[in-house]
Structure 1
């Protein structure tokens, strides 16, 4: 097993129309306004940006995200990631009852040297840290969607 490889999946049930959810998720430069752990997003161009995140554990991760797919009809937003983590991430947005289900999939390898050294012992804490970040993102997006 590669202790520096992670696969994550989160399911967010949101009380808003799929188009509204997709619209919020396709603007990563706005994430810091509603997602506390997304500390900074600096756009390089229309499809690329540098993102810094930090959750409960005392380390930040910075990576470049480059859009590889934006398909509003299919509800798919996909990026490739390079930097402290490398791999890909995808949002899939679909109608669910009177609201929306936003599914987040991520497949990455950790490249940040400190985290690689702590891979075996730190893995449970790193996974918990990610869960807490995603939980806060869901709460923040719900509040954001109610406000717009």
Structure 2
């Protein structure tokens, strides 16, 4: 099989401390419809079902990703969604108490096909950087939103 026909696989991990208890962080993360209010790179959300949503995301590069989320679990300490659309795989948050709020561990494993998968051959470092910028927006927005009085 030609290498360019094989989808690109990405694995990402981030660990942050968020200034709120795990329950508050969970409530913000499962409230997908309100992501655009605090996560700048999430441009639009459409609810598809009680367990599903379509997100349109754009980080620094001028490229929109359409990602279909399907909730797998919303119970602490682990939140997980299956991913479809432009990415196939999963995203998982593990939330545990920390001295100043919550320790959040984000894990994502995806396979990217199509043109984006093809672009990965030459642009993998740029696409990884672009993902990092998106997650920086998430961390900053989540921290700010979690610190707001309830």
Which runs of no fewer than 5 residues in structure 1 stay unpaired? none
RMSD of aligned Cα (Å) = 1.5
TM normalised by structure 2 equals: 0.91
* Post-superposition offset of 1:147: 2.1
The verdict on how the C-alpha distance between 1:66 and 1:3 changes in structure 2, with shifts beyond 3 A counting, is: closer
User: Within 1, Cα distance between the matches of 2:7 and 2:48?
Assistant: 32
2:117 alignment counterpart: 116
User: Within 2, Cα distance between the matches of 1:63 and 1:23?
Assistant: 21
The verdict on how the C-alpha distance between 1:114 and 1:3 changes in structure 2, with shifts beyond 3 A counting, is: closer
Please identify runs of 4+ aligned residues in structure 1 that moved more than 3 A: none
User: Within 2, Cα distance between the matches of 1:104 and 1:19?
Assistant: 16
* Aligned pairs (5 A) from 1:30-109: 30-72=34-76, 75-109=77-111
User: Within 1, Cα distance between the matches of 2:17 and 2:7?
Assistant: 30
1:125 alignment counterpart: 126
User: Within 2, Cα distance between the matches of 1:23 and 1:116?
Assistant: 33
2:28 alignment counterpart: 24
* Number of aligned residues: 145
* Post-superposition offset of 1:41: 1.2
User: Within 2, Cα distance between the matches of 1:48 and 1:3?
Assistant: 24
Which runs of no fewer than 5 residues in structure 2 stay unpaired? none
Answer yes or no: is the 8 Å Cα contact 1:81–1:87 preserved in 2: yes
Offset from partner CA, 1:37-77 (integer Å, 9 cap, x none): 011111111101111111001101102110111213xx211
Answer yes or no: is the 8 Å Cα contact 2:17–2:100 preserved in 1: no
User: Within 2, Cα distance between the matches of 1:68 and 1:91?
Assistant: 12
